[in-house]
Structure 1
Amino acid sequence: MNFSQALSTVMGIVIGAGVFFKISSVASSTQSASLTVFVWVLAGLLSIASGLTVSELATALPVTGGATKYIEYTYGKPAGFLFGWSQMAIYFPANIAALSIIFGEQFASLFGIDKVLIVPVALIVSTSIMLLNFVGNKVSGKLQTITMIAKLIPIILIIVFGLFKPSPVSPSLFPITSGEGTPFFTALSGGLLATMFAYDGWINVGNMAGEMKNPKKDLPKAIILGLSLVTLIYVLINYAFVSALPIDQLAGNGNAAFDSSRLFFGDFGGRLVTLGILVSVYGTINGYTMTGIRVPYTLASTGSLPFSGYFKKINKSGAPYISGLFILAITFIMIFLGSFNLLTDMLVFVIWSFTTLLSIGVIVLRKREPELERPYKVLFYPVIPIISILGGLFIVVSTLITQFQLSIIGILVTLIGLPIYFYQKRKNEKSS
């Protein structure tokens, strides 16, 4: 893999559907255009620092299996299992459920159907994508390619029209302040937590290190340039949104992308752009489904799960269908019980808890295994890892403070994995 391929992979992994729908919750938290745009810049810088940090583990550790194995290598098998468990019990089902819900909401707005049908539409969407993945990798892979191209169209259109068409609102970007009556720390933490969902996916960037010809030189360049371009795209889209609608009309407005598109392109054009966004969402759900259904399968392959024999089953197309049905069952529960913002905030909290451990792991291994060969060393060590760690701690701690109940649910569901791990370990030892 050369530099240009690595660059496109970074951008393809990270750019998703979240940027179209997080503006409502970001604006609700910040209550100002300046802080709304700023948190997108801040989230991008934090993602770059974390991507550079975690990539050192990806290039140095002689293990395959991505972040789960990096945590296991650094902190032990129980910690590695907990990360895998949190992915199958929270991260992937919550992603699929949240995006299915937002698909249902946008579908209802686009076609003017009753909102009572949002949940049935979400269930149909998540089920249809799961069935496509059961058919095999070829079908789901082609769908991913088509939707990858489709999601660029609304992004480009919104940026171009947002920048060059006279806008009804003239947002002030300086000084950076929160809305009147909103504490700055509360506004910043809430806005940052919301934006991190749109940057989700960078944690997988380091996995491509083994395929690169010159990871020491090309990996940091691909991460810095790729995530910088993603940040620029996200900032421009959100600038277009705050230029189209006043902040009070964006705050809490789940149809902000649809309403902004209608202002830019007229009613018919706005509907076409929204249709493109729906295709993008469908493709993003497919990406999480493709990856998610293989997590229980991978854990079962090492005998780490109860009923591993069932989770390891694959159909004629090679798809782990029992694992897929498990993910789909949890997805259904989340669709009925959660909302887009609730589910995305929970998964960001959980994934950043482990991401912070990964960044700390870079420092731990530098001290514990100084002789370990590191084809790529994080730039400006230890400054970049410390930025990543502090940013991760800020997200985790601020979520604990501002959304205590949601945080506790995420922690409890994750910790359920511990008795499961030790029960299965004891069972495996008895049978061996």
Structure 2
Amino acid sequence: MSEQPVTASAPPAPGYLRRLGVWDASMIVVGGVIGSGIFRVPAAVAKQTGSGAEQLVAWAIGGVIALIGALSYAELGARRPNAGGGYVYLREAFGLIVAFVYGWNLLVVNHSGAIAAVSTVFVEYFGAALGVKIANPAPWAVGTIVFLTGINWFGIRAGSWLQNVLTVLKLLALALLIAVGLAFGGAPAPATPPPPLQPLTFIGALMPVLFSYGGWYYVNDIAGEIRDPRRNLPRALVLGMLLVATCYVLANAAYLAVLGHAGLAASAAPAADAMRQIFGEPGARLIALGIAISTLGFVNISLAAAARVFQVMASDGVFFRFAATLHPRWHSPNVALLMLAAWACVLALTGTFEQLLNYSTVGDWIGIAAVIATLFWYRRRCADDAAAPAFRVPLYPLLPIFFLVVVAWVVATTVWENPHDAGMGVLITLVGIPIYWYWTRRRRTTDTRG
């Protein structure tokens, strides 16, 4: 009997490694939410509120609404603690085409546009901190994206370490703003009593507040790299959102203490104006540095999270196949990361990200709603799931339904106020359908040839 040739089996493809604890994941939640919004948006909210008390209540209500959304994502992450987050839940609950359209929006406008936009904001504020007016921030924004891409190339530990440092620094900047604002604020008391509450105007003030609270879902995209994710992911979401809400309410209290409600409404840059009033120009430069650090952290986590979504899409055959690979040593989605960064750099250089972000608002909120709607599917279809989640949304189904009603209001308001941008957003979403057909046809052809 002749000997059979011995063939060596191919080494297993590298997968994601669970290296992040509760602290790391919590810093990702905080870093994904706190960008530049809290340093600028309170002025817009003050314009639509009648008093400082209304201002604080608006930010507290926004925090509660965002926490409800995060609780739904916490159960979803505990049920399916895999890389890809919302894309994975939508694929399993509603099918691949719905998941692809969700990922398509993230790739073309949402995450890529946010990376380009916020990296540009970073350059502008970093220049302000140095006392330098940067005439053309686009090349510097590209350099920022390339630098952060290089960090994340070396895996989740490298990206997480940088994220932890940046998030702690941004929290220190907020703590400084809050402490000096509350300690040294000298805004005069209002001469006349505040006007009565205007419900419709107050509800309108919640819109920018809710936008400032967005971003908690980034941590679900990297759930495949969190240790004991069924317990640690919900803990990180709850802890992170409570920390964000506390910081946001206290920061608004500090603005009101220094500038007063009328001064806050009239300010174009409330954080800089508050610090300038207390410490002069050095104070304004110091808070500009804090804002720059905050935005840099946001760009970092956006790159890390989005790249993992696109890597999972590539694994499903609805994105470039070569983007499905992970680095053999660092276990990072290096190819998907490079492709995402390249597209974000194009948007930064051309300046088209601003309009794209306006177009993406409706699609973004509808995507969040669709992801939370998968929770009802999981509860109904997976009641006897062997991998039962360690966390369940309290007061189910009331809290998820309430959040979906809020999203419906946000979408309706956006469509009413900006029908052109909303229509363009819908058009971009619909373009994803023939793109999906192309990818699935290409996948079937490739599988047949294989």
TM-score band, normalised by shorter chain: 0.7 to 0.9
Aligned twin of 2:347: 333
Residue 299 of structure 1 aligns with an amino acid whose one-letter code is M
From 170, 175, 181, give the equivalent of 1:162: 181
Residue 249 of structure 2 aligns with an amino acid whose one-letter code is V
Deviation at 1:313, TM superposition (A): 8.3
Residue 410 of structure 1 aligns with an amino acid whose one-letter code is G
Aligned twin of 1:188: 203
Deviation at 1:68, TM superposition (A): 0.8
Instruction: Pick which of 404-413 and 329-338 moved more.
Output: 329-338
Q: Call closer, same or farther: CA 1:130–1:221 in 2, change over 3 Å.
A: closer
Q: Call closer, same or farther: CA 1:31–1:301 in 2, change over 3 Å.
A: farther
Q: Call closer, same or farther: CA 1:246–1:404 in 2, change over 3 Å.
A: farther
Structure 2: 5+ residue stretches without partners: 1-19
Aligned twin of 1:244: 258
Aligned twin of 1:74: 93
* 8 Å CA contact retained: 1:304, 1:421: yes
Counterpart CA distance in 1 for 2:141 and 2:409 is 32
Percent of pairs identical after alignment? 26
Counterpart CA distance in 1 for 2:404 and 2:394 is 15
* 8 Å CA contact retained: 1:264, 1:270: no
Aligned twin of 2:295: 281
1:27-426 alignment to 2 at 5 Å? 27-28=46-47, 30=49, 33-61=52-80, 65-114=84-133, 116-134=135-153, 139-170=158-189, 177=197, 184-185=199-200, 188-189=203-204, 191-205=205-219, 211-212=227-228, 215=231, 223-224=237-238, 226-245=240-259, 250-251=264-265, 254-305=268-319, 307-309=320-322, 312=325, 320-321=334-335, 323-333=337-347, 336-337=350-351, 347-372=360-385, 374-375=388-389, 376-426=391-441
Task: Look up the SS of the partner of 1:304 in the other structure.
Answer: coil
Counterpart CA distance in 2 for 1:131 and 1:9 is 18
* 8 Å CA contact retained: 1:97, 1:331: yes
Q: Call closer, same or farther: CA 1:208–1:139 in 2, change over 3 Å.
A: closer
Counterpart CA distance in 2 for 1:69 and 1:173 is 52
Deviation at 1:348, TM superposition (A): 5.0
Residue 430 of structure 2 aligns with an amino acid whose one-letter code is L
Deviation at 1:152, TM superposition (A): 1.7
Instruction: Pick which of 162-171 and 307-316 moved more.
Output: 307-316
- TM superposition score normalised by structure 2: 0.79
Instruction: Pick which of 53-62 and 412-421 moved more.
Output: 53-62
Residue-pair matches, total: 422
* 8 Å CA contact retained: 2:85, 2:309: no
Counterpart CA distance in 1 for 2:142 and 2:272 is 22
Residue 234 of structure 1 aligns with an amino acid whose one-letter code is Y
Counterpart CA distance in 1 for 2:289 and 2:343 is 28
Aligned twin of 1:181: none
Counterpart CA distance in 1 for 2:364 and 2:272 is 29
Deviation at 1:370, TM superposition (A): 3.8
Residue 257 of structure 1 aligns with an amino acid whose one-letter code is A
Counterpart CA distance in 1 for 2:90 and 2:217 is 13
Residue 445 of structure 2 aligns with an amino acid whose one-letter code is K
Counterpart CA distance in 2 for 1:58 and 1:213 is 8
Counterpart CA distance in 2 for 1:208 and 1:130 is 20
Task: Look up the SS of the partner of 1:416 in the other structure.
Answer: helix
- TM superposition score normalised by structure 1: 0.82
Residue 281 of structure 2 aligns with an amino acid whose one-letter code is D
* 8 Å CA contact retained: 2:46, 2:55: yes
* 8 Å CA contact retained: 1:162, 1:244: yes
Instruction: Pick which of 169-178 and 102-111 moved more.
Output: 169-178
* 8 Å CA contact retained: 2:303, 2:340: no
Q: Call closer, same or farther: CA 1:362–1:137 in 2, change over 3 Å.
A: closer
Residue 412 of structure 1 aligns with an amino acid whose one-letter code is L
Q: CA RMSD in A?
A: 3.6
Deviation at 1:402, TM superposition (A): 1.6
Task: Look up the SS of the partner of 2:135 in the other structure.
Answer: helix
Residue 148 of structure 2 aligns with an amino acid whose one-letter code is I
Deviation at 1:19, TM superposition (A): 1.8
Residue 45 of structure 1 aligns with an amino acid whose one-letter code is V
Counterpart CA distance in 2 for 1:338 and 1:252 is 29
Instruction: Pick which of 358-367 and 230-239 moved more.
Output: 358-367
1:227-278 C-alpha deviation (Å, 9 max, x unpaired): 2332121011122223333556545855332222212333223322322321
Q: Call closer, same or farther: CA 1:420–1:169 in 2, change over 3 Å.
A: farther
1:429 matched to 2:444? The reply is: yes
Task: Look up the SS of the partner of 1:88 in the other structure.
Answer: helix
Q: Call closer, same or farther: CA 1:250–1:404 in 2, change over 3 Å.
A: farther
